Amino acid sequence: MTAPGRLGVGVVGAGRVGAVLGSALRATGHAVVGASGISAATTERIATLLPGVPHLEVPEVVERAELVLLTVPDDALTELVEGLARLGAWQPGQIVVHTAGAHGTAVLEPARALGAIPLALHPAMTFTGTSLDLGRLVGCTFAVTAPAPVLPIGQALVVEIGGEPVVVAEEARPLYHAALAHGANHLVVLVAQAAQALAGAGVAEPHRVLGPLLTAALDGAVRASASIGEDPAGTAAAGVAVLTGPVVRGDAGTVAAHLRELTALAGREPRAADVPATYRALARATAARALAGGRIGTSSAQAVLDVLAEPEEDR
């Protein structure tokens, strides 16, 4: 029996996200009544983060739970929800939560049609699948999407585990998720490319060079992004005040030298083959934003863009 106001939670897909969120809910007094997963890593996470919780098949987890936490890959979500609906597994009044960033609650319609309460909660953070993540949930933003009458349930669950709920409309979920993926995943690629270039320049420990520089740049960029919320019309120029480097100075010769060196690096190192194209794309975007924000004049911007034009053999 769970305490009054507490729920029996079932975790379907106890991977990096599911096991951590299940553990966080358990810490607030909810009872985790079952967890599913097929990999050896999942079994280990259940044992480590959810000790004593039975490892069950998916239908049994759903049968036991008052709150079902669906933490499966995005592309598996639709088939899972529909399959459980065909089995008649969803129960009236049961809370069904998924954590897929690009989906709202429409994907949960088969469960809702059987009386379940649909919620979409997406934490804007990366997960290691270890206890380290539990502390990082505090203050983490969660996108909350739900029908208006049950929206407070989703917000309350987020607040319970220390998160900050932000309401995202159903139709805006794909754009919301694209923004996060563009920022986080592409940042990882960008840092890796910069480290490769430094290693190619003979720097033995690239992370020591990049750490302070990129930390300061990221902090400045995030602070500058606050102006977007205050003035949505000014988004094209957001962050240009903290830009530095040859593009905003209009140093087309330096940009050309960068491209020559990065192209040579790509020729020597097959794993760096993507670096020149990334540099061109991001430098063009930098020039456009610098121009919109008044950091560079039209003629200087055009000189930089001419240098950044794709080579004829790539057109």
pLDDT digits (tens, 9 = 90+) for 46-70: 999 999 999 999 999 999 999 999 9
Q: Check residue 271 and give its pLDDT.
A: 93
Cβ count within 10 A of residue 124: 18
pLDDT value at 93 more than 70: yes
User: Cα(306)–Cα(304) distance, rounded to whole angstroms?
Assistant: 5
CA distances 61 to 22, 91, 129, 184, 195, Å, are 13, 12, 20, 33, 45
Does residue 126 come out as left (phi exceeding 0), alpha (psi in the -120 to 50 range) or beta? beta
Give residue limits of the domains in the chain: 8-168, 174-314
Domain 8-168 fold is Rossmann fold (3.40.50)
Query: pTM for the full model?
Result: 0.87
Instruction: Sort 301 into a burial class: Cβ within 10 Å, 0-12 / 13-18 / 19+.
Output: buried
Instruction: Sort 209 into a burial class: Cβ within 10 Å, 0-12 / 13-18 / 19+.
Output: middle
- The answer to whether 308 and 288 are in contact (CB under 8 A) is no
Residue 38 contacts by C-beta under 8 Å, 6 or more apart in sequence? Answer: none
Tokens of 66: 């008052």
The sign of the torsion formed by the CA atoms of 269, 270, 271, 276 equals positive
User: Cα(269)–Cα(263) distance, rounded to whole angstroms?
Assistant: 10
pLDDT digits (tens, 9 = 90+) for 259-292: 999 999 999 999 999 999 999 999 999 999 999 9
